[in-house]
Amino acid sequence: MNFCFDLDGPLIDVCDRYYRAYLESLTGTDESDGQVLSKEVFWKLKQNRISDTEIGLLSGLSVRDARNSAELRKGLSFKEEYLTLDKLFDDVYKTFDYLKSQKISFFIVTLRRQSQLMYAVKQFKLNKYLGNERLFCRVEDQKSQGDVYEKHILFANAINKLSLNPAETWIIGDSETDILAGRLARYKGVIAITRGIRSQLQLEILRPDSLVHSLTELINFASTVRS
């Protein structure tokens, strides 16, 4: 048994960062007072696949400003000063300690670019558990070819470089990208976690192989499958 973790969502709470980018993207627009969404409302909309443009419209922006705000947010979401707002979920170290104790192989595949990934590794001291050979991401200047396609390639490359069997490897992800790319890469299955960018309802629509709310449940899953 092996585990492949997506980074943002399963391991890192990105809600504060995305909300800060949302607030910053409203600067200079003609939004009306009192129409700025609360963090809770904003995140619920994101989890239910409401587009950034639609979120702008719900914030009182004109169509033009909503589109501009959405485009601006793409760059702001990974701005280095906003990355400091990320938080590692409380159960990550416990889960990694368990996997190491059971000699279960695990690695990270993310659509972050290399500098963004390494920032998180340093930020949360993940190198205690994972060497660089177990970290897979976009290269720095790579042009986007579509999230599902790119993640599928990363999944396949990770398996090849680590000499693992995809039929014995589970993906822990929080989005449609993880589920669809995992199927293309012919991994054993995808365990969807509900604390990330997609709600439980949105994940259930895609029919992942299993659904958990925390990594503590993943420990139970691993012990059950191995017994």
99 with 197, same domain: the answer is: yes
Domain termination residue (choose one: 67, 83, 99): 83
Q: Could you give the angle at the alpha carbon of 173 between the alpha carbons of 160 and 70, nearest 5°?
A: 110
220 with 133, same domain: the answer is: yes
63 with 79, same domain: the answer is: yes
* Residue 220: predicted pLDDT: 85
CATH number, domain with residue 113: 3.40.50.1000
* Residue 32: predicted pLDDT: 47
- Could you tell me which of 82, 95, 62, 96 has the C-alpha nearest to residue 18? 82
**What does the alpha-carbon distance between residue 194 and residue 185 come to, in Å, rounded to a whole number?**
22
Residue with tokens 């059950």: 224
Q: How many domains does the chain have?
A: 2
Indicate the helix (H) or strand (E) that contains 61: none
Q: pTM above the 0.75 mark?
A: yes
**What does the alpha-carbon distance between residue 9 and residue 179 come to, in Å, rounded to a whole number?**
14
74 with 176, same domain: the answer is: no
Sequence length of the chain is 227
CA 134 vs CA 105, 175, 196: distances in Å: 10, 21, 22
**What does the alpha-carbon distance between residue 106 and residue 196 come to, in Å, rounded to a whole number?**
19
Which residues constitute the domain of residue 69? 15-83
**What does the alpha-carbon distance between residue 26 and residue 60 come to, in Å, rounded to a whole number?**
10
- Contacting residues for 44 by C-beta, under 8 A, at least 6 apart: 199
**What does the alpha-carbon distance between residue 34 and residue 76 come to, in Å, rounded to a whole number?**
23
* Residue 29: predicted pLDDT: 64
Q: Is 177 exposed, middle or buried (0-12, 13-18, 19+ CB in 10 A)?
A: buried
Which two three-digit tokens encode residue 91? Answer: 């159960």
Q: Is 55 exposed, middle or buried (0-12, 13-18, 19+ CB in 10 A)?
A: buried
Tell me the sheet residues that pair with 12: 8, 88
64 with 92, same domain: the answer is: no
* Residue 146: predicted pLDDT: 87
Question: For the chain (length 227 residues), average pLDDT per consecutive 10?
Answer: 96 96 83 76 96 94 91 88 95 96 95 95 96 94 84 96 95 96 94 96 95 91 74
* Residue 74: predicted pLDDT: 86
